[in-house]
Structure 1
Amino acid sequence: MKRRLALAAASALGFFATPALAQDNAQPVTQDGDSGFYAGGGINLYFIDKDDAADGMGIVFEDQPSPGAFVGRVGYAFNEYFAVEVEAGIGGAKSEFEGPGIEGDIGVTGPMGAHAVLTMPVSEGGGYLLARAGYSTVTIEREMNGVEYEDLDVSGASFGIGGGVRSGSWDLRAEYSFMSGGDANSGVLSMVALHRF
């Protein structure tokens, strides 16, 4: 399934790249004197692979741990089709788990990433689809029965797809990405609000 998600993201990226690269005279996404820069924030939910999350703990997860993080994002849109973004954040809600004689939680800290973003407008009302590719990193912290286990580092390639709506200087977006590399694999659901300057 992970391979299918990666292939789907790569296919979407290729699909969106064609019009983005072919539009030498594309109209800039900025309007009314906007600079092309934008910034905002939101939340990331990390859906960590169950086997990776349990590594070395001697337990088996029935449900996928899904801790959250608060993230800030800054980007620059070159035109209507292509932008670059960086993000960083702090840990948020932890994913708690319990069982017979077991109680613990899994959290994340230090999320960071840099991505190229390709977008394709799909409606006159500001709706669009997107594909993103780049690099992401996050640290997974694990605790069970008062014992802290070795942190897991997830660092590597990140591919995602999503969509959003632009309204005036605001951009509301939802994305799903797949992170692969380091000690674990994880899906990431991002929901962000961005303001264009």
Structure 2
Amino acid sequence: MAKIFSLFDLLPVYYATIENNSGNPIQPQTSDYENSNEKMLRNYEWWKVAEEFGKEGEATVLNYLSKQYNSVEKVKDAEGYDFKVVDLANVTLRIEVKTVQSFDSAVYITRNELNKANQYKSSYYIYLLVVNRNEKYADLFIVQNPIDFFEINMVFVNEVFKNKYINFENKAFRIEFNKSFFASETVVKTHVKLPFLF
């Protein structure tokens, strides 16, 4: 009998535990080829809940941006950011929203998002939303020009290992925020408490 497997079964998945809307924790499993269909479904469930949580975060930020700016546009995922905003000085800002459930959660950022951040420099922002579902609010932290702020080496980001058999490249990166990030004077100045809409 043939086994059915997916990419989730071939590679270990290292994501934080998240909760669905009913407050039940969902934790993906790493792969060992046993019960691969069950693990695939569990990872898929985790991915769908995480995706929905991200959309809820984007909706919360959209609500906030709509009160701050006259022109706010949700863009396609391929653009490398979530919103295009035109400010009062007619400057276009690009905003990527990352939503987490705790201060020690990690976020994932794609190479495309990092390349767009590098391209747009000071007009590119990461809005990190740390959600407290129990209290129905979220802490918003805003980082302008994340490439410079985090001192990201773009040569490393875009490095590709090639030989006659394969091209090996990073498509996404995991970012863990240290306590010093939340205590940073630059980040503290941008801290906003928002009602979480979901």
Between Structure 1 and Structure 2, which shows a larger proportion of strand residues? 1
TM-score (norm 2): 0.27
TM-score for both structures, normalised by structure 1: 0.27
Structure number with the higher helix fraction is 2
